[in-house]
Amino acid sequence: VSGLLYDLRLVGKSLRRDPRFTLVMVVSQALAVSLFATALATGRRYSAMTGQLAPDVYRVERAPMPALESFFNGTNYEGFGSFATLYVSRPIARALAADRAPAAQTPSFVAALAGGPPGDEPRRLPVRFCEPDLFDVIRADFQFGGPLRRDDAARRPPRPTTVLSEMLNQQLFGGADSVGRTVRIAGIDFEVVGVMRQRPGKVHLWDIGISPENLGYAVVPFAFADALRPVPWIIWPPAFDDPTWAGLDDSSRSFMEYWVRLPTAASRAAFQATLARTDPDLLLRSGDEIVARHAHAPAPYRVFAILTLVVVEASVINLMRMLLAKATARASEIGIHRALGAGRRTIFARQMLEGVLVSMTGSLLGLALALPTLRMFDRLIPDTPVKLAVTPAIVGTALLVCLLAGLATAAYPAWRVASVQPTRYLGKV
């Protein structure tokens, strides 16, 4: 320990000797790391979705549509074509609902209506229509209250209750506990029974495919769809003869997701048979497959992450160059150390320590700088209202990359300095 402290003292002295030089090294590394951490945060918003679905969850989907997918591929809307496979029509949903095999099942779609707390100025209000079973399918955390209750939805007439997303609760009630308050939606008063918590820096798996302006929504029982007559914004194919709720009722147009929980092999087999009878084009996609689809961030974010990784590389080379120049300039001092008995390993370790110290200081400063950078990104690129966040996973990844980069940075100058004979250094004294 005392050796390490001695080395640290020497390294500190070396860095203090030319503070402007040290500052350039630290700041350039910090800027690169802040950009890299920001790229990780933007990518993470749409990827790594494990743990958001209950086990045994499946979604009913349509067979892939290669023509539509290739239409969007290679553009900024990469992957958009596959969204059309996620939806089924209302007649199909009705046929599937008759099957009792699933332990839980729900259609789900979002449509924009109008409303707000009674007495407030009405506003555009996105609404998600689903059965209370949705909360058995997804793993939603609650900020206040809890999920929709089955007995409320099963009553005749159903009890008008709603669960708000954190974003909508913020917009309507300033983020306060709104359980027990009323939200008027298209003329019907709904009692708030829960507020879902938004995961920091991440769009929920069940919200992917919902347009950003609809992400702050109220969840209401599907039983109210006939009264509220919503017309969903996303419909595939988009044109049809009667674009009203009544027109959608028996149309082949797809607009709702259909989620099920099938805990046993028998229930899976029974439901598969129902699917085949209903429409041979339908298939069951497991929760694991759905999560795997979002293992990687969308293409534009991946490109940005690769670019920022190259920025870190360039910053590492810059640092390496500066450390080498610094070590070469201190040749006489190192020569004296060697002549006084310091071995190559000691010199190497000291140089490594200096490199890693500079690199890690720059990285920590970069992570601190990432916070205002993220806020700037959120303002500049209004891709989604889900704000970017620096999570422990991002801090860990960035620090690991920076530690490896720091070791690589310091190794070459340290090796160069340590490998030269002391006599050559002493010649410069």
Residues in 320-379 at the binding interface with other proteins, rule: CB under 8 A: 320-322, 324-326, 328-329, 377, 379
Does 209 help bind other proteins (rule: CB under 8 A)?
no
Rounded alpha-carbon distances, angstroms, from residue 400 to 37, 186, 392, 397, 413: 12, 52, 12, 5, 21
Q: Nearer Cβ to other proteins, position 284 or 371?
A: 371
Q: Which stretch binds other proteins (CB under 8 A): 46-54, 100-108, 141-149, 316-324?
A: 316-324
Binding mask 43-82 for other proteins (x = CB under 8 A): ------------------------xx--xxxxxxxx-x--
Nearest to 266 by CA among 103, 98, 92, 61: 103
**Binding region for other proteins (CB under 8 A) out of 9-17, 46-54, 132-140, 239-247:** 239-247
Q: Residue with structure tokens 């009544």?
A: 246
Whether residue 70 contacts residue 82, with contact meaning beta carbons closer than 8 Å, is answered with no
Tell me phi and psi for residue 422, to 5 degrees.
-60, -30
> Which of 3/382 has CB closer to other proteins?
382
Cα–Cα distances in Å, from 315 out to 6, 126, 281, 371, 373?
Answer: 29, 45, 52, 20, 18
Residue 58 C-beta: closest distance to other proteins, Å: 24
Residues 185/127, Cβ–Cβ less than 8 Å: yes
Nearer to other proteins among residue 106 and residue 308 (C-beta) = 308
CB nearer to other proteins: pick between 28 and 278: 28
Tracing tokens 């924009």 back to the chain, one arrives at 112
Contact residue for other proteins among 299, 365, 368, 407 (CB under 8 A): 299
Site string for other proteins, 5-24 (x = CB under 8 A): ---------------xx--x
Choose between 81 and 287: whose C-beta lies nearer to other proteins: 81
Applying the rule CB under 8 A, the residues between 115 and 174 that interact with other proteins are 115, 122-124
Among 269, 273, 313, 332, interactor with other proteins by CB under 8 A: 313
Scanning 93-101, 161-169, 225-233, 267-275 for contacts with other proteins by CB under 8 A, the matching segment is 225-233
Map the footprint of other proteins across residues 395-424, applying CB under 8 A.
412, 416
| Residue 8 half-sphere exposure toward CB, CA atoms < 13 A | 6
- Which residues are paired to 191 by β-bridges? 161, 182
**SS percent in the chain: helix, strand, coil, step 5:** 55, 15, 30
Residues 6+ apart with CB under 8 A from 353: 7, 8, 11, 410
Q: How far apart are CA 147 and CA 343, in angstroms?
A: 68
Interface with other proteins, residue 308, by CB under 8 A:
yes
C-alpha–C-alpha distance, residues 388 and 391, integer Å:
9
Which of 52, 106, 251, 359 touches other proteins by CB under 8 A? Answer: 251
Q: Using alpha carbons only, how large is the chain's radius of gyration in Å?
A: 29
Query: Smallest gap, in angstroms, from Cβ of residue 4 to other proteins?
Result: 28
Select the span of 31-39, 90-98, 342-350, 359-367 touching other proteins (CB under 8 A).
31-39
> Taking CB under 8 A as the rule, does residue 303 contact other proteins?
yes
Residue closer to other proteins (CB basis): 100 or 124: 124
- In the complex with other proteins, which residue's Cβ is closer, 264 or 421? 421
Contact yes or no for 117/164 (Cβ under 8 A): no
